[in-house]
Amino acid sequence: MTRKKVKLAFISNDSARKATLKKRKKGLMKKVSELSTLCGIDACAIIYSPYENQPEVWPNTAGAQRVVAQFKRMPEMEQSKKMVNQESFIRQRIAKAGEQLKKLRRENREKEITEVMYQLLTGKAAALQQSLILTDLNDLAWMLDQNLKEIDKRIETLKKEAAAAPVVSQPAAAVIQTVTAAADQQEVVGVDLGQRQNWFVDWMMSNPNEHMGFEHGGGSGGGGGGDDMNIPNHHAVWPGAFFP
């Protein structure tokens, strides 16, 4: 669970202000000690409190005097370069809050104009015609220009990507070549099959009895009549390409 943000304002309740001072003073002393130890720098902290007669000093009085003397030896311009008082600190906070307010107003205005643009695209121009003033129209024109610039930029990017990419990659070209060769081979086989079927029909019609395995010849003496059935030679009849 995140820590609740503390409102930076004077605490009017006396007991709550005293408890906050005690807690924050202890944390500040700890941070100064950590900063001096981790970064190897000279630092000191002097805190005056309305609840105590003597100020609280870190690390000690001698160490604080050494750091203050070192600071006073610096030129006056360097001493006051990053120094702020209550008035300058408040002015900085006001300026920062003003910049944040300006940013939020700009974002809200862009959202409003974007909503108006979408309503116009959906055919609600007649309803908005009377409510739009010159400032709204100027902002709408600016928003349209920004969107058109983004679209043109995207189009140029896509054109560059399309120009850099090859039309057909090497694996795709190999697949196309293989499929074309297979189609040509299938067409040749189909033509050859048709020619062989036609040849077989013509051959059967020319000598039907012979090719059915019947021969008419004489008897044992050469003059007798009889029908002898011989087993046909399939290897002679059927081409080897079909029945090996």
Averaged over successive runs of 10 residues, the pLDDT of the chain (244 residues) comes to: 76 90 92 93 92 90 92 86 82 92 92 84 72 82 87 91 70 58 53 50 51 44 45 42 39
Distance of alpha carbon 122 from alpha carbon 230, whole angstroms? 91
Distance of alpha carbon 175 from alpha carbon 179, whole angstroms? 6
- Could you give the C-alpha distances from 80 to 75, 76, 112, in angstroms and in order? 9, 6, 46
At residue 147, the pLDDT reads 86
Distance of alpha carbon 113 from alpha carbon 110, whole angstroms? 5
Distance of alpha carbon 115 from alpha carbon 111, whole angstroms? 6
User: What is this structure's pTM?
Assistant: 0.40
Neighbours of 113 (CB within 10 A): 20
End-to-end CA, the chain: 85
Residue reference for tokens 């006073």: 72
Distance of alpha carbon 84 from alpha carbon 92, whole angstroms? 10
At residue 43, the pLDDT reads 93
Q: Looking at the chain, which residues constitute the CATH 3.40.1810.10 domain(s)?
A: 14-83
- The maximal CA–CA distance of the chain, rounded, in angstroms, is 159
Distance of alpha carbon 43 from alpha carbon 67, whole angstroms? 7
Residue 48's φ and ψ, nearest 5 degrees, are -100, 135
At residue 140, the pLDDT reads 84
Amino acid at 141: A
Contacts of 42 (CB under 8 A, 6+ apart): 36, 66, 67, 70
Tell me if 241 sits within 8 A of 196, measured CB to CB.
yes
Q: According to CATH, what is the number of the domain 14-83?
A: 3.40.1810.10
